[in-house]
């Protein structure tokens, strides 16, 4: 497996993980508004923090791939 494919797979995994964490944070927020809690260990804000970190990594990888593609063309 080449490094490019591995980085692409990790990027997709992180993106999906960030979407799942965002969904969990939204569910927790709605549950908190109703007076309940879904997650006992993490708060919704902490989940959003982790999701943002994952998305920043995905953005950095995408920018790197775009830069490499532009270098190949010129």
pTM for this prediction: 0.79
Q: C-alpha dihedral over 46, 50, 56, 61, to 10 degrees?
A: 180
Query: So what's the pLDDT on residue 37?
Result: 85
Per-residue DSSP letter, 22: H
pLDDT value of residue 46: 87
Whether 2 has a pLDDT exceeding 80, the answer reads yes
What is the reported pLDDT for 13? Answer: 94
pLDDT tens readout for residues 19-72: 999 999 899 889 888 988 888 777 778 888 999 999 999 999 999 989 988 999
- Comparing CA positions, the residue from 53, 58, 55, 31 lying closest to residue 44 is 31
Backbone angles phi, psi at 42, to 5 degrees: -110, 145
Question: What CA–CA distance (Å, rounded) separates 11 from 34?
Answer: 35
């Amino acid at each position: 497996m080449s490094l490019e494919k591995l980085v692409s797979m990790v990027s997709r995994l992180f993106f999906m993980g960030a979407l799942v964490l965002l969904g969990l944070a939204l569910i927790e927020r709605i549950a908190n508004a109703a007076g309940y809690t879904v997650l006992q260990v993490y708060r919704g804000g902490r989940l959003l923090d982790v999701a943002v970190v994952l998305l920043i990594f995905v953005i950095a990888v995408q920018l790197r791939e775009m830069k490499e593609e532009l270098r190949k063309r010129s």
